[in-house]
Structure 1
Amino acid sequence: MAIQPAAVEYGAADPAERGESGGSGTHDSEDAGAAGHARSGRVGAAGRVIRPIRLFALHLARTLGLFSLAGRLTSGDLRILCYHGAALADEHKFRPGLFITEATFRRRLQILAAGNYPVLSLGEALRHLDEGSLPARATVITIDDGWYGTYSIMGPALREAQLPATLYIATYYLEKCTQVFNVAAGYILWRAAPQTLDLNTVGSGLQGVFDLARGEARERAVKVLEAWGDTREATDRQRLLQALCQVVGVNWVEIETTRQLQFMTSVEAQRLGAEGVSLQLHTHRHRFPRERSLAEQEIVDNRQSLGRLSAEPAVHFCYPSGQYSPEQIPWLKELGVRSGVTTKRGLVRSSSDRFTLPRLLDFETMTELEFEAEISGFNDLLHRMLP
């Protein structure tokens, strides 16, 4: 009943560290393929017509007590919430599926408390699920990636509410302490005033003229920039972002000083770990290749990096962009991984495969009504009845 966001694919690692150019080459996630409107936060004309009808139907369902009924019927299922980053400025307007405001996040935590949804750590919740002792309406909070806003905004909110959470970190970006290139490029073009951009004026080796007033043109420009960045070092990509800002009239110093579109540092991640946030696997370079040796190296590198941040074993995994293929799951098991979460929507039942766990993706444009429909289990029951 709610519009779901797509997971984001990040720019390449440095060529010497990348190993290959590209992700897994496969997917098993309905959200990973919905990149069109969700990555930019746009909703098509059909969505603008249908959504008010959906919201009215949800309001009626809640009024009739169907949310409450769904909560009772699904009380034995596990709810795994999925977040990404917190907006430091206006990033939630740029990608509401990726960045959420502090006010929205804190309000979600209040709804969990008011609705008697006990929040457990992921490890504890899965143990209870295995033992058949899961508390009613048990909930887990997971956060993907490692954005700075997770540290500066979500961390304090969780600490004040005394709630545990799991943070899946793509450690390459944490170690480099630079903006995530393709996300930052998209944001800069989104922030720019309507104009015609000739990429040749930004840097050598770039070509193409784009009308920045058109979202589709901005996306094509980002693709060109991303392809350029795939063969450059992190320092080169940072210089290009600075040049791009200068050409289109966006304040690069503001982006840098506020740490927008940047991951937290290793020290900051360490602090979150010391405060009870579980630091877990998301691959090192935010990619899970089809070639086994490269995929395993991603886990090994990720785990080594996390081991320098926390003494807690890194045994839980989040597929980058929700993408995976079945033959990769045995590789994870052999590496000692105990669970894998996806971007599939739904609640976790005792019979759910522990390596393809669904989650409830929350995002800025989801109303409280839609959030309650998700967390109560109403949407999950509806999807089961109307696949």
Structure 2
Amino acid sequence: MTVASTLLRAAGGWVSPGGPTGKLTILTYHRVPSGVDPLLSNDQVDAAKFAKHMAAIADCFNVLPLPQALNHLDQGTLPSRALSITFDDGYQDNYTTALPILKRHGLKATFFVCSGYLNNGLMFNDVILESLRACQAKELDLSWLGLGLLPVYDLAAKRQASQKILDTVKYLPFNEREHACDRLWQIASPSEARPQLMMTDEQIRDLAAQGMTIGGHTHTHPILSRVDLDSARQDIALNRRLLAGLIGHEPTIFAYPNGRPVRDYGHEHVKLLKELGYQSAVSTAWGVAMKHGDRFQLPRFSPWDDDPKRLVMRLFKNAMNGQNPLVATGAS
């Protein structure tokens, strides 16, 4: 252990103590591509960056599987500098790229999986990205989306276009969103086969067999606040049932799609998860989990720093300042 890491661990013990006042940092990752993808955002975490993250985290934090960490949090026995690692959606590179890095450092993680896209599916955001990646045109007429003519003549233009399209369709009703993405594919890349980016059933089984936690994340990734409660119930219940068939037991932890409290889910969805048998859930509100917090609205943090020391310092800052995360409130 270096002098720097010793000092960081000492600082971390002060800002993220254990015991009854313990704080749990929960990290969020999505895709972990093998190399930098020019069409993904600047804050992407590729394999090299993820490896740096895990080395720094293993050195400076006490990493616990999320279910175990939550048990310690409830009992007031959390170690100092406690941290859990999570992934959303079910991308195949979580298995092929991230898993070997996790294992190298002896780390466990939780994978929140959308069952409807396993095997040969493609999530709507990736339909947008991959259709533009394959597009050979210089511009696309997307007047039907209210976007007019969008330039797509190079990678920078395609990245800007993908963000504009995503912002336009993300909050559409599910059927409209799927129809818009399918139409975009037919316009931008009609002769291209869709790539396989999501995990297979067998990979999910193997993650569970290797001690990783599998959590629910809906079947089709609807923004829960944009669908009626009955549809949300059916989608969440189907996801839980299908994942149980793969791993042999029902998942106990859930991640809200998109995950922003109030905007993406409400207190009625918190109550719904309890009715369906879940024991806890995570949002994407930034903050740190504490004993007094809502177990169905656990905050998380999304790291993207290239420099490992800066990453650790940002995580400590979040632990110090993130004690009152945003939550969706309502009658109990």
What is the Cα deviation at residue 96 of structure 1? 4.2
List per-residue Cα deviations over 1:66-93 (Å, max 9, x = no partner). 8843542322211111111111454365
Q: TM-score, normalised by structure 1?
A: 0.68
Q: TM-score, normalised by structure 2?
A: 0.78
Q: Give the one of 275, 300, 323 matched to 1:359.
A: 300
Q: Which has the higher contact order (CA 8 A, sep 6+)?
A: 1
Counterpart of 2:246 in structure 1 is 309
**How far apart, in 2, do the equivalents of 1:68 and 1:90 lie?**
34
**How far apart, in 2, do the equivalents of 1:379 and 1:313 lie?**
32
Counterpart of 1:341 in structure 2 is 282
The one-letter code of the counterpart of 1:114 is D
List per-residue Cα deviations over 1:330-379 (Å, max 9, x = no partner). 2211211111111111221111111111112123x55424311233x223
User: Retained in 2: the 8 A contact 1:190–1:218?
Assistant: no
Change (3 A) 1:156 1:291: same
**How far apart, in 2, do the equivalents of 1:128 and 1:228 lie?**
39
Counterpart of 1:197 in structure 2 is 140
Task: Please list, as runs of the form range in 1=range in 2, the aligned pairs for 1:1-387 lying within 5 A after superposition.
Answer: 68-76=10-18, 77-91=23-37, 94-97=40-43, 99-115=44-60, 117-175=61-119, 177-189=120-132, 195-198=138-141, 208-212=148-152, 214=157, 217-221=161-165, 230=175, 241=185, 244-245=188-189, 252=192, 256=195, 259=196, 262-287=197-222, 288-289=224-225, 291-322=228-259, 323-363=264-304, 367-375=307-315, 377-382=316-321
User: Retained in 1: the 8 A contact 2:137–2:188?
Assistant: no
**Secondary structure, counterpart of 2:293 in structure 1:** coil
The one-letter code of the counterpart of 1:373 is M
- Aligned-residue Cα RMSD (Å) equals 3.6
**How far apart, in 2, do the equivalents of 1:335 and 1:224 lie?**
32
Change (3 A) 1:94 1:341: same
What is the Cα deviation at residue 302 of structure 1? 0.6
The one-letter code of the counterpart of 1:186 is L
User: Retained in 2: the 8 A contact 1:199–1:209?
Assistant: yes
The one-letter code of the counterpart of 1:105 is F
Change (3 A) 1:237 1:216: closer
Structure 1 residue ranges, 4+ long, deviating more than 6 angstroms after superposition: 204-207, 223-229, 236-240
**How far apart, in 2, do the equivalents of 1:205 and 1:133 lie?**
52
Change (3 A) 1:379 1:134: closer
The one-letter code of the counterpart of 1:102 is A
**Secondary structure, counterpart of 1:142 in structure 2:** strand
User: Retained in 2: the 8 A contact 1:66–1:378?
Assistant: no
What is the Cα deviation at residue 121 of structure 1? 1.2
**Secondary structure, counterpart of 1:351 in structure 2:** coil
Change (3 A) 1:362 1:222: closer
Q: Which runs of 5+ in 1 are unaligned?
A: 1-61
The one-letter code of the counterpart of 1:79 is T
